[in-house]
Structure 1
Amino acid sequence: MTEATAPNTTARTVRLGDHTVTVVDDYPTFWARVDAGTWEASALTAQAALISSDTLFIDLGAWIGPTSLHAASCGARVIAVEADPAAAAVLKSNVAANPELASRITVLERAVAATSAPVTFGARRKAGDSMASILLAETAALTWTTPAVTPADIAALIAPGERPVIKIDLEGAEYGVLPAMGALLAHPRTAVLVSFHPGILADARPGADRAALEHAALAPFSGWLAQPVGDQGPGEAIAVDDLLRDPDWCRQDQWLLSRANL
């Protein structure tokens, strides 16, 4: 049995940033890294700094729940979007194992996409791993199709007075989703933590015009600021319009995008 199909029902307590959560899955190696503070520590620090009591944390690519559970622990209301049915099942189990957080987390078993058409994914190893991608739909041995939710659909779920903080980690699908993000970016205090995956893009689409895709992905953020999120947390901010003049900007995978220097 695989990690995705046979979750371990034994609960474990894990330190997640400055908070403690319970998980009930069979991903012990991953959670050991989280507990030791060696998984995405700088991203979790940046995420925590963005969250306040009025935050709606929109987790696009929630996987089995680390960033959703962390955001809820920090006080946010959370919409967790996950397209892999196996990962979504584990995500829901982990959310349910934290009743003090569960009321603040809504799980959408959908693929975020520019249109409402169903989306086909592929996985190189197995369902439920963290590397499933629409870019692998034509080459992977394991594929599946998932209903879609658009950025406009998600924007309609934002309650009055809520400030959206959006995390995007879509294993290459961000290049198709970001150009359609307009409705989710309307709030003047929106912040976006996005992971780009140039390596996945290069492997899956070797003939793609990377520069054109990067320009299209960042076009909705013209006039915004971008801060690289590295090992020491967010670095010096640069205007998105200036960022695109650096052909190597995407070597830094994760960026914090906002209308003001946060």
Structure 2
Amino acid sequence: MVLGFVKSAGRAYYRAKGYFPATIRGNDFKLDPYHFAFWSAASQERWEPSTFDVITKYLSPEATYIDIGAWIGPTVLHAAKQCKQVYCFEPDPTALRFLNWNLDLNELHNVHALGVAVAAEAGLLKMATFGDNPGDSKTSLLQNEAQYFVHVLAITWADFIQKAQPENVSLIKIDTEGAEFDLIPTMREYLEDNRPALFLSTHAPYLDESKRMDAMAALLDALSFYPNIYDEFLKPIGRDEFLSRKASEEFGTYLFADD
């Protein structure tokens, strides 16, 4: 009861203040107060510290970072302090609202936040959450038969590259709640020609059980030109581990890289 009161009081205080102050990897930020518990965890290295490690390792002052599935912006905020420019995509309108709020609070003018999905085909698509609430980081193009859904605009990777022509892309992060299985093959030519490091989250459990292992195999085939694969703890793994039944039954995070 006491803990609940403290959380409620903290929530009310930061909402009245207009932001939650936090330091992430040495950089001070003003952050939306509606996610203050998450921001507190991120600042204390209790949320995906290896993700911040990857961003720090592969970005430089002249680099470009691309984030497909940016949510409310933890990776975007950190990356914006490390590189020249950031392109990020977040089609969920609720998450996008908080993402833009966080960018405005911190006056990050090197970030291009796009409220569209990057998908295998362009158009107007349905998406809904696999979780409980809009904007909860589990919104997916695969969850298009849910009772409550939103329509979102989608562009292809080829269209984005043609229009934006991003230079010196050194790292791409993809966390699209299952849409990666259709998206990655459409990106193969660009990835093979340019070889940015690819930080990829896989969501095989959102697929029909009979299709999971084949989907993981197709994903690996599309990325076969990368010589090295690392797990979420940045430990090298073999291709057989990526193709294991265990990997197809769990949510995974992998780094594909030349080094």
Fold-level similarity (TM above 0.5): yes
Alignment of 1:256 onto 2:255: yes
Alignment of 1:136 onto 2:143: yes
Alignment of 1:229 onto 2:232: yes
Distance 1:62 1:184, change over 3 A: farther
Give the residue type in structure 1 aligned to 2:117. A
Alignment of 1:14 onto 2:22: yes
Q: Work out the CA distance in 2 between the residues paired with 1:107 and 1:219.
A: 30
Residue 153 of structure 1: how far off its partner (Å):
2.1
Residue 180 of structure 1: how far off its partner (Å):
1.3
Q: Work out the CA distance in 2 between the residues paired with 1:187 and 1:56.
A: 16
Residues 110 and 146 in structure 1, CA contact (< 8 A), matched pair in contact too: yes
Q: 2:123 aligns with which of 110, 117, 129?
A: 117
Residue 187 of structure 1: how far off its partner (Å):
4.2
Q: Work out the CA distance in 2 between the residues paired with 1:98 and 1:187.
A: 34
Q: Work out the CA distance in 2 between the residues paired with 1:51 and 1:249.
A: 28
- Greater than 6 Å deviation, 4+ residue runs: none
Give the residue type in structure 1 aligned to 2:222. P
Larger Rg: 2
Aligned to 2:165: 158
Distance 1:114 1:64, change over 3 A: same
Aligned to 2:35: 27
Q: Work out the CA distance in 2 between the residues paired with 1:164 and 1:46.
A: 11
Aligned to 1:3: none
Q: Deviations 1:52-105 (Å, cap 9, x if unpaired)?
A: 123211110001111111100112411110010111111111101111xx2110
- After TM superposition, the structure 1 = structure 2 runs for residues 204-243 of structure 1, keeping only pairs within 5 Å, are 205-206=208-209, 208-224=210-226, 225-230=228-233, 234-236=234-236, 238=238, 240=239, 242=240
Q: Work out the CA distance in 1 between the residues paired with 2:111 and 2:166.
A: 14
Q: Work out the CA distance in 1 between the residues paired with 2:134 and 2:71.
A: 11
Question: What stretches of structure 1 of length at least 5 have no aligned partner?
Answer: 1-6
Cα RMSD, aligned residues only: 2.1
Residue 25 of structure 1: how far off its partner (Å):
4.0
Residue 227 of structure 1: how far off its partner (Å):
1.0
Q: Work out the CA distance in 2 between the residues paired with 1:252 and 1:122.
A: 18
Q: 1:82 aligns with which of 67, 76, 90?
A: 90
Q: Deviations 1:37-63 (Å, cap 9, x if unpaired)?
A: 100111111221011123211110001
Residue 247 of structure 1: how far off its partner (Å):
3.8
Q: Work out the CA distance in 2 between the residues paired with 1:129 and 1:80.
A: 17
Q: Deviations 1:129-168 (Å, cap 9, x if unpaired)?
A: 1111122221x332011000211122232334x1241101
Question: More helix per residue: 1 or 2?
Answer: 2
Residues 59 and 83 in structure 2, CA contact (< 8 A), matched pair in contact too: yes
Aligned residues between the structures: 241
> Percent of aligned positions with the same letter in both sequences?
27
Give the residue type in structure 2 aligned to 1:73. K
Q: Deviations 1:153-206 (Å, cap 9, x if unpaired)?
A: 22232334x1241101111111121121125414434110001123333xxx34
Q: Work out the CA distance in 2 between the residues paired with 1:184 and 1:89.
A: 30
Residues 57 and 165 in structure 1, CA contact (< 8 A), matched pair in contact too: yes
